[in-house]
Structure formats: C-alpha cells, structure tokens
Amino acid sequence: MELRYLRYFVTIARTGHFTHAAEALGMSQPPLSQQIQRLEKEVGTKLFNRSGRGVELTEAGKVFYKDACVILNLADSALIKAKGIARGVNGIFSLGIDSSVVFFSKVFPSLRNYKYNYPDVSLRLKEDNTATLLNDLESEKLDAAFIRLPVEEDENFNFHVIGEEAMGVALHSSHALAMKDKIKLSDIIDTPFILFPEEEAPGLHKLICQVCKNAGINVENNQAAPQIRSAISMVQGGFGFTVLPESMLCFNHPELTYHRISDAKLNTSVALVWRKFDRSAIISRFLELL
C-alpha cells in the first residue's frame, strides 16, 4: 500500500468532500476518485459513504482513518529525523572524555554550548582513559573524544586542539617542600614517584617520564597508580608525589599541596579526536562551536 493513497484518504476524510480534497491536493477530482477506489479494493471494503452533499466515513473507514493518521505521522517524523541527521541537528552523538581532561576549562562549557544550539541531538558521554577511548573510536563505539596529547602517532584520526596547559606536582602536606609555590623536579628525586600505567596514555606517559628522567628522577622505580586520578589519592595517603595537569590540581584537601615546576617545561594539549574519514554532520557542527 502506497503512502500517497493514505494521504488522499485522510485529506478526503478531513474535508468531507472529494472536490475540496482534490483542490487541497492540487489534482483533479476524477483521478482522486480512481485512487480511492483502488485503495478500497486493496483494503477489501468501502471506506466512504457517498452522498450529494459529500462523503462520510464508514465504520471500517473510521478505524482505518485513525491508523492511517498514525502511519502518516510516523512517516513524516522519520523523514524529518533523517533530514535532521543529514544536517547534523538530530541524532545521537557519542562522545568520550579522558579522565585527565574532565576538569579542563573548555570541555564542559563547549558541551553546554553545543546542547543549547542543538537540543535535539542526544549527547551520550563516556569517561575513560585515552587508550580505551581511541579503541572505541576505531571500533565506532564512539563518534569523537576529548583526550590529552601527546598520543602515539596514528594516521586513523583527526585532531583538533582546543587548548594547552602546564603540568604541576602534587605533594603530601607533610613534605619538606610543601610550603613552596614552585619547586624543582631535581629537588624531589628522593621522594617516591607515583605514575599512572603506560597503557592508559602511552604518549603522555612517555612525555612525563622523559622530563622527570632529565631531572634525575628514577622513573623506572615508580609506584604505579591504577589510573591518573587514583594517583591523587595515593599522594594524599603519603605514597609519594605525582605529576598532574593544572586543571586536575583542583581537589581541595588539607593533606595535598600543588606546585608549579620551575626547572622544566612540561605542557600538554587537550584535543578533540575523531576518525580520519568520518563525514558526520554532527561532528562538523560540534567543531564549528569549539
């Protein structure tokens, strides 16, 4: 059964007249009557009672009218949604967020701005480490992700940097250097080093290790933390020191102190990453707002 038959039928039912319906549909009456006859033949029963004053729905026609309206509404809705997805104003946007960038100043304001401009897009968020997010992107479980650079070179992704920040040192409040605003990495070589696992973010892990190694810190004998944010709790527990992005130095706890690094430059960038050849209109619209 063709949708146009249903549209003809519903228009006639609403106007109560073949002539008026034909005018509303922009067609002549004879072809409209022929289409309705075909529809009634396909349904197997009369849908209208004709009279000189117009038409009325039969009992079967009344039931058919309700279902026809539902079908047409669903068809119109599907068309609108499909067009919206093609334009990037409708659909689902699955976005990953690396645990180390959750507190970066531009991440959630950008999401709030995006939802304001595109309220009909369903935003689904996932927080995890860089390696897992990149794997999820490759397997198309995610559309895009906010991660921290550097990462190992990968030709499968596009990167759009949204900002850069320095990394600092977190110490226990009982440490001898806890009162200093800035410290040298070379001054804490005797303090146990806490670091997240390399497999979580290989590129960032390599950068931190290289800078610390240059300062004389024994990076091979570090205390492994389950993840980046866990390292903060370990510092709080007195296990040693860790290196963190400045945006993560926001945990206000009396047993933690945060310090800028004075003898080395240790910066990272935060970027949106997505698949190299993904032409998603939703991603394009999101990039326009970053």
pLDDT of residue 202: 86
Percent of the chain with pLDDT over 70: 95
Query: pLDDT at position 144, please?
Result: 95
pLDDT at 251: 66
Q: Is the pLDDT of residue 16 over 80?
A: yes
Model confidence at 219: pLDDT above 90: no
Residue 100: CB atoms within 10 Å: 26
3-86 shares its CATH topology with 91-162+270-289? no
Residue 259 neighbours by CB distance under 10 Å? 21
> What residues pair up with 171 in beta bridges, in sequence order?
257
Give the pLDDT score at 77. 73
- Does the structure show a pLDDT above 80 at 110? yes
Give me the pLDDT at residue 84, please.
Answer: 59
Tokens of 25: 């549909």
| Residue 141 pLDDT | 93
Lowest mean pLDDT, pick from 21-30, 161-170, 245-254: 245-254
- How far apart CA 156 and CA 137 sit, in angstroms, is 10
Mean pLDDT over each residue of the chain, to the nearest integer: 88
Rounded to the nearest angstrom, the gap between the alpha carbon of residue 50 and the centroid of all alpha carbons in its chain is: 56
Average pLDDT of the segment spanning 199-204: 86
- Domain 164-267 sits in CATH at 3.40.190.10
Secondary structure of the chain: what % helix, strand, coil (to 5)? 45, 25, 30
Q: List, for residues 229-266, the tens digit of each pLDDT value.
A: 788 889 988 999 999 888 887 666 788 899 999 988 89
What pLDDT score does 88 carry?
65
Mean predicted confidence (pLDDT) in 46-50: 89
The answer to whether the CB of 6 falls within 8 A of the CB of 61 is no
Rounded (10°) CA dihedral 115, 118, 119, 125: -50
Separation of alpha carbons 285 and 119, rounded Å? 13
The CATH number for 3-86, chosen from 2.70.70.10, 1.10.10.10, 3.40.50.1980, 3.20.20.140, is 1.10.10.10
| pLDDT level of residue 117 (50, 70, 90 thresholds) | very high
In eight-state DSSP terms, residue 178 is: T
Q: What pLDDT does 85 receive?
A: 67
- The pLDDT score that the predictor gives to residue 22 is 87
CB 201 within 8 A of CB 151: yes
Please give the Cα distance from 101 to 266 (Å, whole number).
Answer: 16
- The stretch 150-178 carries a mean pLDDT of 90
Please report, for residues 5, 8, 44, 81, the alpha-carbon distance to residue 35 in angstroms, rounded to integers and kept in the order given: 7, 8, 14, 29
Give the per-residue pLDDT at 192: 92
**Domain map of the chain by residue range?**
3-86, 91-162+270-289, 164-267
pLDDT tens per residue, range 64-104: 999 989 988 887 777 766 675 666 667 889 999 998 898 89
In this structure, which topology does domain 91-162+270-289 adopt according to CATH? Answer: D-Maltodextrin-Binding Protein; domain 2 (3.40.190)
Spatial separation of the C-alpha atoms in residues 289 and 18, rounded to whole Å: 51
Q: 222 falls in which pLDDT band (50, 70, 90)? A: confident
Query: Cα separation of 47 and 11, whole Å?
Result: 13
